[in-house]
Amino acid sequence: MSVVLYHSPMSAYCRSVLLVAKAVGVPLDRRIINVFENEQFKPEFVAINPQHTVPTLVDGDLVLWESRAILTYLVGRYGKDKTLYPDDVKVRAKVDALLYFDCGTLMQRWKAVVVPLMGGSTHTPSPESLKQLHEALSWLETMLIRHKGKFAAGTEDPTVADFALVAGMSSYEACGFFQAETYPVLGAWLERCKKVMPGYQEMAGDDAAKFAELMRSKMNKA
């Protein structure tokens, strides 16, 4: 039985799942949900996920629709080693902390920038939302410095935290809200991720660029 992923290519959350699935080598039956056409509200999808969100993963009798839970599940179920989600308690605590930071802080501040634009209530991000986003990016820069590793949790190899974070960072960079010269450590980390993550351009970079085009079209409206 195939592993089914309902997803939107425009979603950073979905891109993180695609990247991890590629890394662990699990093939996905990919089914696109066009959220701009409200396909997530179709009865057949709501029957699968009453919260009607993407990504949604169906693996046999298991249904998951929180992206970071999907990441750790895919690694635990299909990963060939513990590199992506290490067993070491302290390292895993760092990985988990970064996942929670991405979910509860960084992506929330990104949503404050992007949701008003996508909803058409404004054509420019508010100065306060940009300030809040850059504050969170500066915190992440500090975390990377303190962890003293090639990757976000201080590891020599990427973990699921890197995959979650890089999916969002691909959007920030493509949309012009992140410049490596402002955050040199974060910029160097991002370049490492691009080089070592299998299928980065196909699974994240290309669709982040398409999302940026959509964002610019919203911002350029008079």
> Is residue 222 scored above 50 in pLDDT?
no
pLDDT tens column, 121-157 = 778 899 999 999 999 999 999 999 999 889 999 999 9
State in words which class domain 89-219 has: mainly alpha
pTM value? 0.95
pLDDT at residue 104 tops 60: yes
Q: At the topology level of CATH, where does 3-78 sit? A: Glutaredoxin (3.40.30)
As a whole-number percent, the residues of the chain with pLDDT over 90 amount to 89
CATH 1.20.1050.10 in the chain: give the residue spans: 89-219
CA-to-CA separations, 59 to 2, 3, 4, 93, 210, in angstroms, rounded: 7, 5, 6, 27, 29
For position 120, what pLDDT does the model report?
Answer: 79
Mean pLDDT of 20-26: 97
**Upstream peptide bond of 55 is cis (omega within 30 degrees of 0):** yes
- Say how far residue 79 (Cα) sits from the centre of its chain: 19
Q: Say if CB 174 and CB 110 are below 8 A apart.
A: no
Residues of the chain with CATH 3.40.30.10: 3-78
pLDDT category, 221, cuts 50, 70, 90?
Answer: low
Sheet holding 62-64, edge to edge: 28-32, 3-7, 56-59, 62-64
Catalytic residues: 11
pLDDT score of 219: 81
